[in-house]
Amino acid sequence: MSTITTYNPATEEKLATYKMHTDDEVIDIINDCHEAYATQKSSTFSERAILMNRAAEILEERKEKYAQAMTEEMGKTYSSAIAEVEKCAWVCRYYADNAEEFLKDEIIETDAHKSLISYRPIGIVLAVMPWNYPFWQVFRFAAPALMAGNVGILKHASNVPKCALQIEEVFRDAGFPKNAFRTLLIGSSQVKSVLENKKVKAATLTGSGPAGSAVASTAGAQIKKTVLELGGSDPYLILEDADLDHAADQCMQSRLLNAGQSCIGAKRFIVLDEVYEEFLEKFTTKMKSAKYGDPKSDVKFGPLARKDLRDEVHGQVLKSVQKGATLHLGGSLPTGKGAFYPPTILTNVKPGMPAYEEEIFGPIASVIKVKDEAEAIKVANDTEFGLGACVFTKDIKRGEDIAKNKLEAGCCFVNQFVKSDPRIPFGGINTSGYGRELSYYGIREFVNIKSVWIEE
């Protein structure tokens, strides 16, 4: 019997052991979900909205319970875990309120008696989700998918099975059909067979590039739709006219959010020469003052999700220093238990270094000096990624032009750190993935956009 054992990354204590689903059990669950789809797709938007609003209420009623699970399983601070659950309730209500409008029939003027576009559900959608936002990553897929009339199967990261089962609990207790949303406790090696099952119609994945490539390859061979939200190395441009106090604070907030374990966390800070020293001083002060430690206490961030991930991050820092980067702040492994890592700043970061080329999933900032705006944009776009980007300037028109026309990323912000919001589409380009989540674009990813032509 295969099992999953979880450990608290802050204390290293064993939390629980879970029995994994066998291949036969997985097939049974898929069959059950397929049967549930018949009920789900025949329900009305108003009926589904009642259930989705109830899911939002359950999230709010049990937010302390769900936040505790996130804190224990992956080390998220308790306060940020509470906020994450509340954000999940928001996305549930957003789609409960708007799904019908987003998917209403569109009349198209043609030479037919009547022609229209209808948006219809497609069936079972597999979600392969990461551990860094154990609830939010799932709900931003599940809320629109279920409101569209689909059913969902979740393969969550192996270190957050309790969160995965609690998410299934939310939809079950809200009154959705029994198998409208199910969690599979399986390993990565079993994902291929799930996606190859003819009753599974599409997949969405949030995670690493290699994981996304594997899922996309399998789905492509089966002619199945995928949406991928992968890694990022988000550039933040600090121009000569930026409010440096505001920029330093926003940059610190974004870099240390979730202990730096965020696809859209600020990674590379590209600073014009004339304000470089002043910004670096202010940014260093902010980073240095950020407390980390027990995620249940009043700290800025807790541990990384696992010790092996912490060690990988430290290796990227050391390799960057070996290649010529300067360790400006932090960069040393703490003693004692827990996968902790201090706020760290690297300067003199150049191409060829991990701190320049790779995504570093931890509280490490790469600060890069450039001579002017043109070089800042060139460096910002000098990456294989393309998820988020940000520019700080007091000239709003200049900032808008840079964000809209010059930065090559899916989510570009001005004077505010990059974040996801149910009202705007979320996703990237290049190796950061394709497709969109959230807004009306997200709910239309997993539907049959059906053309209907009628003659008398």
Q: Which residues are catalytic?
A: 229, 263
Pairing verdict, β 151-155 and 124-128: parallel
Structural tokens at position 274? 């004339």
What is the widest separation between alpha-carbon atoms in the chain? 79
CB 414 within 8 A of CB 260: no
Cα three-residue angle 90-94-100, rounded to 5 degrees = 160
Nearest to 367 by CA among 386, 382, 350, 352: 350
Query: Which DSSP string corresponds to 154-206?
Result: EE--TT-HHHHHHHHHHHHHHT--TTSEEEE---GGGHHHHHHSTTEEEEEEE
Nearest to 170 by CA among 63, 83, 320, 276: 63
CB 301 within 8 A of CB 363: yes
d(CA 176, CA 182): 11
β-pair partners for 89: none
Residue 47 CB contacts under 8 Å (≥ 6 apart), including other chains:
none
Sheet holding 447-454, edge to edge: 106-107, 114-121, 447-454
Tokens 């570093």 locate to: 360
Sheet holding 344-347, edge to edge: 326-329, 344-347, 364-370, 266-272, 234-238, 388-392, 411-414
Q: Using the 8-state DSSP alphabet, how is residue 21 labeled?
A: P
